[in-house]
């Protein structure tokens, strides 16, 4: 194993969450995380470990991010006000890096690749370069998730095997040219290392790709043991976790998105999973409950 995200590698840790590592089915009580916060400047990197898996949260966007209240047009003012969300819903653009013991360095999504993107900075904080990313899993093909895969016409992750939903890929290839330009360019650049999975497939590191369609035609969530990387299941978690019936306007198929959100949230509750979301506010994860 070339890299191990031991604490010695970390100059800074914004947040650490540990769950006891034990086999078999855990009770609700033992799933409660022991949480330790460390704030150093405005760092946005966080690490937490569950069983043999370590997941690192890397916020890609440089500043604070609020999803505008107008994104959730169906949510009534009275509810939004009661939650104190009139001015927007705390959010982020995030990626997650996973290390499985004796296994792999896997990145989930890549952020926007904007000039002020912090993904490279986040990797460097861990002593990693883009060349160290062995596997890249994509939740879907929106620009804030695949934008970081290319820098102009150059691939950013020269050694990564890329995993994406076949349903997502096929759907995008049917879209008008102006909508799919970034997707076509990016997938072409990685085509020799692109693996299109079916829902239910097990990927390297024992990660399972699960169907979560609605936001996009092939939107995928990834499960690694007790961790569920949920992509864009929720854009405004402070509203949608308790009220999954409300969509952000980004959801392409609202009916499917609502059904998926309810189903996945129940799955998380039933199994005591910890969610890692690409638009969750700090610290990027929500422990199972
Ligand atoms: Zn997104």
| The predicted structure's pLDDT at residue 46 | 67
pLDDT at 41: 46
Q: What is the pTM of this model?
A: 0.86
How many A from CA of 217 to the centre of ligand 1? 14
Distance 232 CA to ligand 1 centre (A): 5
Task: Give pLDDT, residue 64.
Answer: 84
Q: From CA 109, how far away is CA 64, in angstroms rounded?
A: 19
Report CA(279)–ligand 1 centroid distance (Å): 7
pLDDT tens for residues 132-179?
A: 999 999 999 999 999 999 999 999 999 999 999 999 999 999 999 999
Computed over every residue of the chain, the mean pLDDT equals 84
- From the CA of 231, how far away is ligand 1's center (Å)? 7
Ligand 1: centre distance to CA 146 (Å): 10
pLDDT digits (tens, 9 = 90+) for 261-281: 999 999 999 999 999 999 999
3-state helix, strand, coil in the chain (%, to 5): 30, 25, 45
List domains and CATH numbers for the chain: 7-286 (3.60.15.10)
């Amino acid at each position: 194993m070339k890299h191990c995200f031991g604490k010695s590698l970390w100059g800074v840790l914004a947040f650490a969450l540990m769950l006891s590592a034990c086999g078999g089915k855990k009770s609700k009580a033992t799933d409660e995380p022991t949480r330790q916060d460390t704030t150093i400047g405005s760092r946005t990197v966080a690490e937490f470990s569950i069983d043999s898996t370590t997941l690192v949260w890397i916020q890609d966007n440089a500043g604070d991010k609020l999803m505008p209240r107008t994104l959730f047009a169906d949510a009534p003012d009275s509810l939004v006000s009661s939650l104190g969300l009139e001015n927007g819903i705390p959010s982020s653009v995030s990626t997650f890096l996973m290390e499985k013991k004796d296994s792999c360095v896997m990145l989930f999504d890549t952020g926007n690749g904007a000039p002020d993107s912090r993904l490279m900075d986040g990797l460097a904080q861990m002593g990693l370069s883009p060349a160290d990313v062995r596997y890249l899993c994509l939740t879907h093909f929106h620009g804030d998730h695949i934008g970081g895969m290319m820098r102009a016409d150059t691939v950013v992750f020269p050694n990564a095997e890329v995993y994406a939903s076949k349903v997502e890929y096929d759907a995008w290839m049917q879209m008008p040219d102006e909508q799919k330009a970034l997707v076509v360019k990016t997938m072409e650049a990685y085509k020799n290392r692109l693996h299109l999975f079916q829902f239910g497939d097990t990927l390297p590191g024992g990660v399972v790709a699960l169907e979560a369609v609605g936001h996009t035609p092939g939107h995928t969530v990834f499960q690694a043991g007790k961790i569920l990387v949920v992509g864009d299941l929720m854009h405004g978690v402070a509203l949608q976790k308790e009220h999954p019936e409300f969509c952000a306007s980004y959801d392409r198929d609202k009916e499917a998105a609502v059904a998926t959100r309810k189903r996945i949230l129940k799955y998380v509750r039933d199994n005591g999973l910890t969610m890692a979301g690409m638009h969750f506010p700090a610290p990027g994860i929500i422990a199972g409950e």
